[in-house]
Amino acid sequence: MRSLIALSLLFISMNSNAQTIYHHQLHIVLRPQQHRLEVEDRVKLPSGSPRMSYFFLHRDLHPVSPDASIEEISGVSDGILQRYRVTLPASRDSFILKYSGEIFHPPQQDVREARTFENSPGIIAPEGVVLSGASGWYPMMDVDQVQNMVSFNLDIAMPQDWHAVSQGKYVKRNRLKDDAISQEGWEESQPQDEVFLVAAPFKTYQRNDHATEALVYLRNDDMALAQRYLDATDRYIELYRRMIGDYPYAKFALVENFWETGYGMPSFTLLGSQVIRLPFIVDTSYPHEILHNWWGNGVYVDYPSGNWSEGLTAYLADHLLQEQKGSGAEYRRGMLQKYADFVSAGRDFPLAEFTSRHSAQSEAVGYGKALMVFHMLRRRMGDDKFLKALQEFYHEFKFKRAGFADLEKIFSQASGEDLGKFFEQWIQHAGAPQLSIDFAEAHRTENGYELVVSIGQTQAGLAYLLEVPLIVTIAGQDEVYPTMIRMEEKHAVLRVKLDSQPLRVDVDPEFDLFRRLDRTEIPPAFSQVFGNENLMIIVPRNAGEEVREQYLAAARRWQQQPGRTTRVVWDDEIDQIPSAGTVWLFGWENRWRGIFQDALAFNGAKLSDQGASLENTTFPRDQHAFALTAHIGQTPAAWLAVTDAQMMTALTRKLPHYSKYSYAVFKGMEVANIAKGIWEVSDSSLAKQVHQADRSIPEATRGKLEPRTSLQH
């Protein structure tokens, strides 16, 4: 996430390269106990600015100026922001603005797809201070409702033992006369989208023996935790420096927030206390936030033309790290599965319209589809040209705004081909291709065999221009034969000469294309239940009173989520499992559990009154909470059960984070996850046994794929 809130996107320029930079010299006094701040800001206007300008400020700050005329624009506001007009005397290029007041917007819960988030546009409190451009804590200058870039110097006075963090370079720390207030300074001369200010009674840790200073700000002393993040900072900055170019800022800091967040700002990240202590975060989400200092906070996004930075960052962070482990194809399948599960045809939209994540649907497009577009570019160009394009893009647009059109230009130059149709197809239009194998036949020839494969696109509408990867399993050979078929229409035929007998054809086996997966390629997963627009939750009437009430409460919470029709019923109120939509079954006592158990057996798992056997491991009923998925006929279904009613609140909060999995097992009142996994897919419609000339169809398992090297190896 690039910012605390998306309000400031409303005022970003349509012109990605026309930058007007305002400089702010801000003197700030923070009074956390009163939720207040006092500010004097000398605003220097760019050369040639008109005498009359406009700015937004928080509605409760009441600005005045000793050397300019300030006028509130009546009736012109945006949420907590109020618009003002400032008129400067002739020949002046700066003005002083003084203001003070309260900014206190406690974090509010936002429930989406059963996941709970907390957001605040800005807060000054005894626990800490978190302010962004969306807080309106400094004057956001605008001309014709276009937000402009800023540079700044900050002097922050605050309670003793507090520390402040902003983007850029740390410049000073002083103890003021009364010995109860400390003062710190930050400065950034490079153009910025907005100014952030975070402060709290932090314990600070640093390492400055590298070109980039690494910093950690924790709310309690924890040297071991700080050391892990300092080491990771050095490691990942060096990785991306070699891949893309020099890190754009003087420092990178991990900052601990007082509510659970996952925000990425220029030169620092603001993460919640629980988040930073999860053991996997330091090598998953953390490198993602570091990389955003190249993409999104180094090269800025021209939001009106679409946000490319989330997909590119996910590709070079999340995907790259999985690729280095040999799990790149599995990760890509997961991205495509999210798209299939959460994005129906009526809810799709072009990448050019993506600005920020606000739902699983928007995430599947803005992160997942964009990630796959960059992967397809890399496969088309080759690693060397792809990396060269990234480096040139970064060099040309560092501290400037850029859009998909700029990416198209740079990648076309680096590849030596016009990529206009590629970008137009994947960026400007909603939807995805869906593939099928029409037939695969082998014919004997004088020198061996000819394989004939027909591939189709089954989606509605026009055909996509595709280069579809195929692999052929050949008799007597361990390694598969890779090839490709170019599609310009909805059907295409490939003819391949082979020395030996072809036995099997697999289409896009490593999920290199952005496409809508066929259901036979997707194992049952929680995302299929969470993502469907129509959900039935079946609650057991005969469960014990306490656990029954918890099941019912959880069902009603999920029922309140927007964008979905959810019906909650007792298990004795229906005569059959619905054939449309999706189903959650709650409880061991649920009268439909037997049907679910039968469906679960197709995945090699077993559920009985005693517990569950999953992946050759048995989990007793009386010690565990379970969440399992299966297909009851064509209906995606999930079953959830606990041994103690008090487990339900934590379990239903955690489950959406396991959306890609087919099952998850939890233990203890803390509901700790002890097992999770994905059912195997054994019968994909995009794998076809080859019909031989004698009309036989030999059975063959897929041959071995050649291992791939990662992008940065």
User: pLDDT tens digits, residue range 556-613?
Assistant: 988 887 777 899 999 999 999 998 899 999 999 999 999 999 999 988 899 999 999 9
- To the question of domain 300-427 being in CATH 1.10.390.10, the answer is yes
Please give the pLDDT value at position 10: 41
Pairing of strands 635-641, 624-632: antiparallel
Cα atoms in the 13 Å half-sphere on the side-chain side of 549: 3
Cβ within 8 Å of residue 32, ≥6 positions away: 124, 125, 126, 127, 128, 129, 158, 159, 162, 199
Of 115-119, 271-275, 316-320, the one with minimum mean pLDDT is 115-119
Tell me how far apart the alpha carbons of residues 609 and 222 are, in angstroms, rounded to a whole number. Answer: 45
Please give the pLDDT value at position 117: 63
Do the domains 300-427 and 1-201 match in fold? no
Give me the residue spans of the domains in the chain: 1-201, 300-427, 435-520+684-689, 526-677
| Token output for 163 | 């520390």
Strands of the sheet containing 197-200, edge to edge, are: 122-125, 128-131, 197-200, 163-165
Q: Does pLDDT of 189 surpass 80?
A: yes
> From 1.10.287, 3.30.379, 1.10.10, 3.30.450, which CATH number describes the 526-677 domain?
3.30.379
For 381, 409, 423, 424, the CA distances from 413, given in Å and listed in that order, are: 11, 6, 14, 16
Question: In which residue are the tokens 């928007």 written?
Answer: 362
- Backbone torsions φ then ψ of 619, nearest 5 degrees: -120, 110
> pLDDT band at 712, cuts 50/70/90?
confident
Burial class for 580, CB neighbours closer than 10 Å (0-12, 13-18, 19+): exposed
Cβ within 8 Å of residue 249, ≥6 positions away: 167, 168, 169, 212, 266, 267, 293, 298
Mean pLDDT of 36-62: 94
Cα atoms in the 13 Å half-sphere on the side-chain side of 92: 17
673-696 residues labelled b (16+ CB within 10 A) or e (exposed) = bebebbbebeebebbbbbbbeeee
> From 3.40.228.10, 3.20.20.70, 2.60.40.1730, 3.30.365.10, which CATH number describes the 1-201 domain?
2.60.40.1730
Tell me how far apart the alpha carbons of residues 565 and 559 are, in angstroms, rounded to a whole number. Answer: 8
Q: What's the full length of the chain, in residues?
A: 713
Cβ within 8 Å of residue 200, ≥6 positions away: 127, 128, 129, 162, 163, 217, 219, 258
Please give the pLDDT value at position 179: 58
Mean pLDDT of 127-153: 87
Mean pLDDT of 214-241: 97
> pLDDT band at 5, cuts 50/70/90?
very low
> pLDDT band at 175, cuts 50/70/90?
low
Please give the pLDDT value at position 439: 95
Please give the pLDDT value at position 682: 73
Which amino acid appears at position 199 of this protein? A
Q: Does pLDDT of 143 surpass 80?
A: no
pLDDT over 90 for what percent of the chain? 80
Mean pLDDT of 248-270: 96
Cβ within 8 Å of residue 163, ≥6 positions away: 182, 184, 199, 200, 201, 202, 204, 217
Tell me how far apart the alpha carbons of residues 168 and 268 are, in angstroms, rounded to a whole number. Answer: 9
Whether 544 contacts 535, CB under 8 Å: no
- Backbone torsions φ then ψ of 292, nearest 5 degrees: -60, -15
* Rounded CA Rg of the chain: 28
504-540 residues labelled b (16+ CB within 10 A) or e (exposed) = bbbbbbbbbbbbbbbeebbbbbbbbbbbbeebbbbbb
Tell me how far apart the alpha carbons of residues 487 and 509 are, in angstroms, rounded to a whole number. Answer: 17
pTM confidence score: 0.88
Q: Does pLDDT of 2 surpass 80?
A: no
Question: In which residue are the tokens 């999340």 written?
Answer: 318
Quick one: fold of 435-520+684-689?
A: Immunoglobulin-like (2.60.40)
Q: What is the largest CA-CA distance in the chain?
A: 97
Of 240-249, 405-414, 417-426, 695-704, the one with minimum mean pLDDT is 695-704
The overall average pLDDT reported for the chain is 92
Please give the pLDDT value at position 455: 97
Question: In which residue are the tokens 């997966």 written?
Answer: 517
